[in-house]
Amino acid sequence: MEATPSYVHGAHDVPLIGETIGSFLAGVAQRHGSNDALVVPHQQVRWTYAELDERVTRLAAGLLALGLRPGDRVGIWSQNCAEWVLVQFATARAGLVMVNINPAYRRSELEYVLAKVQCAALILAPSFKTSDYLAMVADVVPELAASASGQLQSKALPQLRHVIRLGTDRTPGMWNFDDLFKPTEAQLANLKTVEASNQFDDPVNIQFTSGTTGSPKGATLTHHNILNNGFFIGEAMKLTSRDRLCIPVPLYHCFGMVLGNLACVTHGAAMVFPGESFEPVSVLKTVQAERCTGLHGVPTMFIALLDHPDFGSFDLSTLRTGIMAGSPCPAEVMSRVIERMHLSEITIAYGMTETSPVSFQSSVDDPVPLRVSTIGRVHPHLEVKIVDTDGRIVPRGVKGELLTRGYSVMLGYWGDEERTREAIDAAGWMHTGDLAVIDENGYAAIVGRAKDMVIRGGENIYPREIEEFLYRHPKVLDVQCIGVPDAKYGEELCACIVLRPGAACDEDEIRDFCKGQIAHYKIPRYIRFVSGFPMTVTGKIQKYLLREQVANDLGLVA
């Protein structure tokens, strides 16, 4: 019998949404106007869908009143807050393209992003944590201090005309965000005209992917891309207008604005923000106080919640669902989350910014063993195939690179045709760079990044497999396995381990735990005990940095 090929198609009886985000929000506000839409306790914000929609309309008209035109790029550089959510929906309604700027960016990164996509406006918080945003902007655009609001003429950034700041204080050359909410009748009428001409295939969002090599690339996403992805993410979680989703993940990333905001809005559910950034106690307090039914997070966030000394004093019994994503989800952590946090219907999602982002997701009624060992099945209306290094589809059960095609694939990298062609082939397939396996029932498992695979003397070692095994050790809180240079084998495996608080352990104990359980060549040659890992703001572990650090510490050079 011929082997089944590793090709899956999410045929579905629920059609794709053929609307722009602005018009879809208006429909939700009509159907669920009195429902809580946005709850941000630290800002004393509690808006219904009717109130959110009305504020979005006024801000959209206000942005156009500045002279911005459909297609112009508007940067948002801020921590999680109510204003961020308003900007997300108001730019969409006004036909503008919102550019997400990482809150951790510094001066040169800010200048790069604003120049790359030629932002016409920048909306920013005054500061966040150790970042003084106002000082950095003043450094990048020194002409601002002597400019009238809206009259900026910058030598370095000639397209940038408007800088808009959050908060009540005033800064020379900048508009205040609240000034934009007073449109005239004529400006509101102009917005209606613009809205009527917006198309769902228009770009609505640019997200910079944190490239491990070279400069970040601006993935350009349309209304159709992210509205539909948000809807089907919510469907997989069985979201309804009665749900209340706690969103502690960053808004500037797809996890916050698509898996969080758009999943909620497409179902009339409440978006609940526990703070400006992730902080375990505020999440636990908010879930209890707001009676949240859903909670999103990356694995490290769930670990921090479960291991918080006051965890047991909070009532989390209203929780039902949520998403764990952003990096591979250890089976051990998933099991604890289901058991101790009442998240019986938590799902795993997999994707990448370039695919809006989700292409696989587990279902709330998938058996727990499948939810902890796979990323679920292909999303509705998408195609996925697994290919070998020659681009040929492999049989089910065979490892290869995962490729995605369908409505979710980005328009391309902004202003970068060459890198777009490298990522999306002539047949429309997005090459993810992830190694995966699809079983006979269509469930997929990610086994590593093509470039994370460790090749030790011709043996392929998939770090994910070894990490999953080491998570079973009772003293191991977190672990990452990487390849380091070796003169004899080319590469050797190194396990970097974070121990549980108060635990003592040595290398021999870890090696003894592995002996007889996993193949000898998979037992890490090096074991390092560390306090944490280098991470992106979204909780993705930067293995390339970890590799560099460990190779240096061990005195190993390629």
Q: How far apart are the first and last CA of the chain?
A: 46
Separation of alpha carbons 235 and 213, rounded Å: 35
Residue 256 resides in a domain? no
Separation of alpha carbons 179 and 159, rounded Å: 22
Residue 14's contacts (CB-CB under 8 Å, 6 or more residues apart) are: 232, 235, 380
Separation of alpha carbons 38 and 29, rounded Å: 12
Average of pLDDT values for 469-476?
Answer: 94
**DSSP, res 168:** S
Task: Write down the residue that tokens 């809206």 correspond to.
Answer: 150
* Cα angle 240-244-245, degrees, rounded to a multiple of 5: 105
Task: Write down the residue that tokens 């510490």 correspond to.
Answer: 553
* Cα angle 347-349-355, degrees, rounded to a multiple of 5: 155
Closest CA to 384 of 370, 361, 404: 404
pLDDT at 1: 66
Separation of alpha carbons 103 and 121, rounded Å: 17
Residue 488 resides in a domain? yes
Q: In the structure, what pLDDT confidence band is assigned to residue 210 with cuts at 50, 70 and 90?
A: low
Closest CA to 350 of 330, 370, 379, 321: 379
Residue 172 resides in a domain? no
Which CATH number is 504's domain given? 3.30.300.30
Is residue 111 within 8 Å of residue 140, measured between CB atoms?
yes
How many structural domains compose the chain? 1
Residue 467 tokens, joined: 């990490």
Residue 528 resides in a domain? yes
pLDDT tens digit string along 49-90?
999 999 999 999 999 999 999 999 999 999 999 999 999 999
pLDDT at 109: 84
Domain containing 509 equals 454-553
Q: In the structure, what pLDDT confidence band is assigned to residue 339 with cuts at 50, 70 and 90?
A: very high
Residue 177 resides in a domain? no
Residue 549 resides in a domain? yes
Is residue 52 within 8 Å of residue 44, measured between CB atoms?
no
Provide the angle, in degrees to the nearest 10, between the axes of the packed helices 299-306 and 331-340: 50
Mean pLDDT, the chain, as a whole number?
Answer: 93
pLDDT at 213: 42
Residue 31 resides in a domain? no
pLDDT tens digit string along 300-321?
899 999 999 999 999 999 999 9
Separation of alpha carbons 327 and 299, rounded Å: 7
Task: Examine residue 357 and say whether the peptide bond preceding it is cis (omega within 30 degrees of 0).
Answer: yes
Q: In the structure, what pLDDT confidence band is assigned to residue 212 with cuts at 50, 70 and 90?
A: very low
pLDDT tens digit string along 6-45?
999 999 999 999 999 999 999 999 999 999 999 999 999 9
Portion of the chain with pLDDT greater than 90, in percent: 81
pLDDT at residue 558 tops 90: no
Closest CA to 114 of 85, 53, 72, 165: 72
pLDDT at 328: 66
Residue 484 resides in a domain? yes
Residue 486 tokens, joined: 């070796």
Portion of the chain with pLDDT greater than 70, in percent: 97
